[in-house]
């Protein structure tokens, strides 16, 4: 079985904050595209430049895990690459060649490859053992990075809200979350409730504090690009990662194990 996960530890002391996830993930992506000579698992496109179907190419996740003196100030401690289609041998060599991430004078960090495997090989909530909460298996999940809808809320010509059979406004943040979770193959949540932000370095960080647009790429989040967060519960445990919405391949819309 081809590995679907590659996980790195960030070795540099000047690591960006988790709020800069989308910028760092974009640059990691660019580095892997270059190192792989444009492998489709990293570009997300075929040889003719057409987007691949199914979202099975690489996602780049950033983590800030407060353990073993790391993540104390909300800095990024790990980078995890997840590709459901699996890494071919050439892709693995590109990942192994990723030692540094550069981005002008403002970003120069060193990364150390911890290994390849499957989500269950790395997932868990024991941070002292280096486990990855984004790759855990759980019924309960909580937003770690902002969810960015890809559709606008719908209204009638008269200005009334367009609602689905459950009463949710079509295109609202919760409606979009539920729709995208379904498209990603997850079961219908039995609970969805908003959360105002996430905890970093002992501080509550609101979603608007996160950078929410890539430096490159043509895609844009819906509306004004506002971020949202949720606590969700599925009827049964699901295997992470759980990540949907604009920028999900660049660390946005990521959830971590919310089991108390």
Q: Would you list the DSSP string of 119-160? A: HHHHB-S-GGGT-BGGG-EEEEEEESS-B--SSPPPB-TTSP
Query: In the prediction, which pLDDT does 51 show?
Result: 73
Sign of the dihedral through C-alpha 43, 252, 141, 78: positive
Q: Taking the CB of residue 187, how many other CB atoms lie within 10 A of it? A: 12
Distant-in-sequence, close-in-space partners of 120: CB < 8 Å, separation ≥ 6: 135, 137, 239
Of 169, 174, 183, nearest in space to 149 by CA: 174
- The per-residue pLDDT string of the chain (260 residues; one tens digit each, 9 = 90 and over) reads 899 999 999 998 889 999 999 999 999 999 999 999 999 999 887 676 777 777 789 999 999 998 877 888 999 999 999 999 999 999 999 999 999 998 766 778 999 999 999 999 999 999 999 999 999 999 999 999 999 998 888 888 888 888 888 888 888 899 999 999 999 999 999 999 999 999 998 899 999 999 988 766 656 666 677 899 999 999 999 999 999 999 999 999 999 997 65
DSSP string, 27-93: HHHHHHHHHTTS-HHHH-B-TTSPBPSSS-S-EEEEE---BTTBSTTSB--EEEEE-TT---HHHHH
The helix/strand/coil state of 175 is: helix
Q: How far is CA 48 from CA 29, 45, 51, 53, 141, in A?
A: 19, 8, 9, 14, 38
Query: In the prediction, which pLDDT does 226 show?
Result: 85
Helix-, strand-, coil-residue percentages of the chain, each rounded to 5: 20, 30, 45
Q: Using CA atoms, how far apart are residues 51 and 62, in angstroms rounded to an integer? A: 24
Q: Using CA atoms, how far apart are residues 234 and 13, in angstroms rounded to an integer? A: 38
Query: In the prediction, which pLDDT does 18 show?
Result: 96
Query: In the prediction, which pLDDT does 13 show?
Result: 82
Query: In the prediction, which pLDDT does 259 show?
Result: 65
Phi and psi at residue 163, to the nearest 5°: -120, 155
Phi-psi region of 177 (alpha: psi -120 to 50; beta: other; left: phi over 0): alpha
Q: Distance of alpha carbon 115 from its chain centroid, rounded?
A: 19
Query: In the prediction, which pLDDT does 45 show?
Result: 77
Query: In the prediction, which pLDDT does 14 show?
Result: 85
Query: In the prediction, which pLDDT does 41 show?
Result: 93
């Amino acid at each position: 079985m081809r590995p679907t996960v590659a996980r790195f530890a960030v070795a540099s002391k000047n690591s960006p904050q988790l709020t800069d996830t989308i910028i760092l993930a974009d640059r990691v992506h660019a580095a892997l595209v270059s190192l792989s000579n444009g492998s489709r698992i990293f570009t997300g496109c075929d040889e003719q430049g057409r987007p691949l179907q199914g979202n099975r190419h690489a996602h780049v996740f950033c983590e800030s895990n407060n353990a073993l003196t790391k993540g104390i100030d909300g800095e990024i401690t790990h980078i995890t690459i997840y590709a459901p289609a699996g890494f071919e041998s050439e892709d693995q060599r590109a990942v192994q060649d990723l030692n540094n991430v550069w981005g002008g004078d403002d970003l120069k960090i060193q990364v150390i490859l911890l290994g390849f495997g499957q989500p269950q090989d790395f997932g868990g909530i024991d941070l002292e053992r280096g486990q990855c909460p984004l790759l855990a298996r759980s019924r309960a999940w909580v937003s770690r990075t902002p969810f960015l809808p890809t559709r606008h809320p719908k209204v009638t010509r008269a200005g009334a809200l367009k609602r689905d059979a459950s009463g949710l406004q079509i295109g609202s943040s919760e409606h979009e979350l539920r729709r995208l979770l379904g498209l990603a193959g997850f079961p219908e949540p039995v609970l969805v409730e908003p959360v105002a932000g996430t905890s970093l370095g002992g501080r509550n960080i609101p979603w608007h504090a996160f950078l929410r647009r890539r430096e490159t790429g043509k895609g844009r989040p819906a509306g004004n690009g506002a971020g949202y967060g949720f606590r969700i519960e599925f009827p049964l445990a699901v295997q992470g990662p759980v990540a949907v919405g604009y920028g999900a391949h660049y660390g946005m819309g990521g959830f971590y194990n919310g089991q108390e």
